[in-house]
Structure 1
Amino acid sequence: MAAPEVPIWALVHLTHAALQRTADRAGVDLLHIKGPATRSSLRAGRHDSSDTDVLVRPAHLDRFVAALAADGWTLFTGFDEGSPFGHAANYTHTSWTYADVHRNLPGPRRNADEVFEVLWRDREPAEIGHCPCAVPSLAGQVAVQTLHSARSHGTEHADAWDLSSPAVQAETRALARELQAETALAAAIGELDAHRDAPDHALWEYWSSSDNDRLDEWAARYRSADGFAERWRVLRQAMHVNRTHLRIRLGHEPGPIEVFREQCARIAHGAVSVLRRAKGRRS
């Protein structure tokens, strides 16, 4: 008789516990975020995550990655391939759900070490999968969930914010100011127009809107980049084919010809977007 399949919600809880065990053994500071690390009172109805999210102290990242490999985890998508923010790497394991290992959070403009330290300072204990874990404070949980909805192109409502009391909302605003994440928070709660002069306004206008294309994304990322080095990195990424995404789409490791075709398609798509934009402006 086959063993009963473990429900996904239970597997997610157990994955959080497994990651905490790995962190404890390696002496790594770990904050569990989203999913079961968020209070149920901040959710509008039942919501079962299908993967596990943790935020690692940046100074401990290399140690944690090495410990994951020792415990049988395999890198699926790296930090520079997983998202435009380069904030998380995705790992797989034969026994657990996917794990998103975050080295920072999209939204705050303070550096990753300072962001982690602020969230770690106000952390609170939680038991996930019968394992003691650290999670952000209530305001921290609201901030994490709300900043996540800010980059959903309008498809995810800021439930955690709406379900919070005025006092918790005030605490969340104060936390956003400390993290320099006011623009991203405003994008999620419908107050972005009040931040038109912010250096990252264009970025969050793109991520919170549903009618922009990739050209808008790259333009917004370039305008919001801090300094020449960051802008040069954005330009290099714009021209670079994401081999991991291509591999996932094709279902196999792409060959040189497939990469070349994707590069040509990328250039053609960019040219069409530019021409469409120019035509619209003339009209």
Structure 2
Amino acid sequence: MGSGTFELDAATQLAHAMAAAIARGLGVRALSLKGPIASHYSLRPPRASADADILIEPERFAEYCSALESRGWHTRVGRETPALMPQHSMTYIHPEWPCDIDVHWMFPGFFADAAEAFDALWSSREQVSVAHCPVQAPSKAGSAVIMALHAERDRRSPKHVEERDLVSTALRERFTAAERDEFVTIAYAGRAAWTLRDYFLTADLGAVVVDADAEQQRRWALFSNRVDDASSVAWWQRVRTAPWPQRPRWMLRAIWVSRQDMPRNDPDVLPSRREMWSYQVHRWRRGSEATMRYFLNRR
């Protein structure tokens, strides 16, 4: 089965079904997120997704990833880099599938322990049919929390602004009192009330609890307002905070990416030197522009 033999939307739905089946076989708790789940609850218009998002109970994340890898899925080649927010997922690809599978061990915007946030979503889960197969998914309220957190990750993107408006409207106009209360309960349990403060205000959900500390608030605000430039800003922050003797090494890593470390799907195919230089030049240009925007906006 080649990647061109079925459409992206069908592939993504089948990926959700397959991911759920793998979890059942392992006895691992797994929740399908976003995509067809959000469409099922009318939290976003139906549309094809490029990936299937799966949230795994954190203690068994590595076990689940190993099972996925045993079925031919693998991560893209790429080096580990600094980030404004902690790594929250692993992206898996397969040569015969046109979609990715994003396996999450936590979801950004929750500041509680990852296991506590997962349990809050799992406790009110529902079974949803995706590709005519049963998958476990957050409830309507839990899915609204996930979609709201996802929208808050990029406050400048028109698509995310649309998603934010859709969730806010649903909370105000279509959610029952019980569903609104459940939204608040999950937000509190996952320490996401501060992240979702705008939804609390616009949907009149009650007082906003500041459940993120000052450093978490700073990093989230920086990330959500600079998501397009997040990589460059994270590199700058890493260089700036490194001990003086280590700064030249981090600056070199920020500037140069070896051919072996260039992002690519096939680990056995090394990019050509021409491709390497094209990638480096594009990266330098993008990084310079992002760094300039960061410093201009700090003024």
Q: TM-score, normalised by structure 2?
A: 0.69
Q: Which residue of 2 aligns with 1:7?
A: 7
What is the number of residues matched between the two proteins? 264
SS of 1:183 mapped into structure 2: coil
Quote the Cα distance in structure 1 between the aligned partners of 2:288 and 2:150: 28
Displacement of 1:34 after TM fit?
Answer: 0.6
Distance 1:146 1:80, change over 3 A: farther
**Does residue 92 of the first structure (1) align with residue 93 of the second (2)?**
yes
Quote the Cα distance in structure 2 between the aligned partners of 1:18 and 1:211: 31
Displacement of 1:112 after TM fit?
Answer: 1.0
Quote the Cα distance in structure 1 between the aligned partners of 2:263 and 2:51: 20
Aligned residue among 130, 133, 156 for 2:132: 130
Per-residue displacement from partner, 1:150-171 (whole Å, max 9, x unpaired)? 0123311312232233633443
Quote the Cα distance in structure 2 between the aligned partners of 1:100 and 1:211: 18
How do 1:13-52 and structure 2 match up within 5 A?
A: 13-52=13-52
Contact 2:77/2:262, CA 8 A, preserved across alignment: no
Quote the Cα distance in structure 2 between the aligned partners of 1:13 and 1:75: 20
**Does residue 161 of the first structure (1) align with residue 168 of the second (2)?**
yes
Aligned residue among 180, 183, 190 for 1:179: 190
Contact 1:81/1:245, CA 8 A, preserved across alignment: no
SS of 1:99 mapped into structure 2: strand
What percent of counterpart residues are identical?
A: 23
Q: Which residue of 1 aligns with 2:218?
A: 202
Tell me which amino acid in the other structure corresponds to 2:109.
G
Q: Which residue of 2 aligns with 1:231?
A: none
SS of 2:49 mapped into structure 1: coil
Unaligned segments of structure 2, at least 5 residues: 203-207, 239-249
SS of 1:184 mapped into structure 2: coil
Q: TM-score, normalised by structure 1?
A: 0.72
Distance 1:107 1:276, change over 3 A: closer
Q: Which residue of 1 aligns with 2:69?
A: 69
Tell me which amino acid in the other structure corresponds to 1:141.
S
Quote the Cα distance in structure 1 between the aligned partners of 2:29 and 2:79: 19
SS of 1:139 mapped into structure 2: helix
Displacement of 1:82 after TM fit?
Answer: 10
SS of 1:127 mapped into structure 2: strand
Unaligned segments of structure 1, at least 5 residues: 223-235
Displacement of 1:179 after TM fit?
Answer: 0.8
Quote the Cα distance in structure 2 between the aligned partners of 1:16 and 1:50: 12
Greater RCO structure (CA 8 Å; 6+ sep): 2
Distance 1:123 1:40, change over 3 A: closer
SS of 2:194 mapped into structure 1: helix
Q: Which residue of 1 aligns with 2:205?
A: none
Q: Which residue of 2 aligns with 1:142?
A: 144
Contact 1:115/1:179, CA 8 A, preserved across alignment: yes
Aligned residue among 111, 116, 136 for 1:109: 111
Distance 1:198 1:265, change over 3 A: same
